Amino acid sequence: MTRILIAGNWKMNGDISMAQNLATMIASEGDALNCEYLLCPPFTAIQTVASAIGDSGISLGGQDCHAAEAGAHTGDISVGMLTDLGCGYVIVGHSERRSNHGETDADVKVKAEAAVEGGLTAIVCVGESEAERESGDALAVVGSQVASSLPDAASATNTVIAYEPVWAIGTGKVPTVEQIAEMHLHIKSVLTQEFGSDSSKTFRILYGGSVNAENADEILRTDGVGGALVGGASLKAESFLAIGRSCP
Ligand code: PGA
């Protein structure tokens, strides 16, 4: 049985001393909880976090990667650089990458392919904008992102999907549990269409967008939710650990 995944996306936050302290606090309790914990610090803090978590069982990941193995890509980080530091995961296609860096589904797919080929588990983010939700297009938009952003060789062990409605990220607004369940069910059906239904294709689907210590319990118990991708509330040990304590 796959454990629920609680992933912390620190985004562009934290200096080395914050990273050291936060990772040490998570490591001291995280592995005793009934879920898998994953920390995705900024690239500059990955090594610090790697030594702070040691062999505690906490997982480590990057927030993005380049599709190429190496070369003239100023400012980018390869999959090999992440695995070299002990990462097992990488987030790709976060809505902030899609909007701030113009990443398309095709860009996200080649990154996810590279991640999987390089031995990482890709966390592929999808989600509709507020306008798309209001115009009734959310299911279609997210379904098409799922169909176009995942690696061809996606399986339950190398790929995780994170459903993050753009309007819920960092806003304190959260969809209803009915909306979350409906979208997770829809994503599941698109995955079955694309990849078939054998058990190696039973993907974990995370919910992300304003998850916090107060709403985690309800969200993590919602049908189809296999974990959470947490931004703001992952920056404090107290709130991030409280989310893990809510794991059913
Ligand atoms: P948030 O961010 O929890 O601060 O809304 C989630 C994310 O962007 O992954």
Residue closest via CA to ligand 1's atom 2 equals 231
Q: What is the largest CA-CA distance in the chain?
A: 48
Testing ligand 1's pocket by substitution, the residue of 91, 164, 207 carrying the most ligand atoms inside 8 A of its CB is 164
Cα(29)–Cα(105) distance, rounded to whole angstroms?
Answer: 37
94 is catalytic: yes
CA dist 228 and 206 (Å) reads: 5
What per-residue confidence (pLDDT) applies to 238?
97
Instruction: Tell which residue, 108, 121, 114, has the closest CA to residue 5.
Output: 121
Write the single-letter amino acid at 190.
V
**Domain range for 239:** 5-245
Q: How many domains are contained in the chain? A: 1
d(CA 159, CA 166): 21
Query: Mean pLDDT, consecutive 10-residue segments, the chain of 248 residues?
Result: 92 98 95 92 98 96 98 98 98 98 98 98 98 98 98 96 98 97 97 91 96 97 97 98 93
User: Ligand 1: which residue has its CA nearest to atom 7?
Assistant: 231
Which pLDDT score is estimated for 54? 96
Give Cα separations from 63 to 8, 41, 229 (angstroms).
Answer: 10, 7, 12
- Here the CATH number for the domain that contains residue 24 is 3.20.20.70
Q: What is the pLDDT of residues 180-231, one digit of tens each?
A: 999 999 999 999 999 998 888 899 999 999 999 999 999 999 999 999 999 9
Ligand 1 is surrounded, with C-beta below 6 A, by 9, 164, 169-170, 208-211, 229-233
CA of 230 to the centre of ligand 1 (A): 5
| Adjacent-strand bridge partners of 60 | 39
**Distance between Cα 94 and ligand 1 center (Å):** 10
Could you report how far apart the first and last alpha carbons of the chain are, in Å? Answer: 13
Ligand 1 center from residue 80 Cα (angstroms): 26
- What pLDDT is attached to residue 248? 85
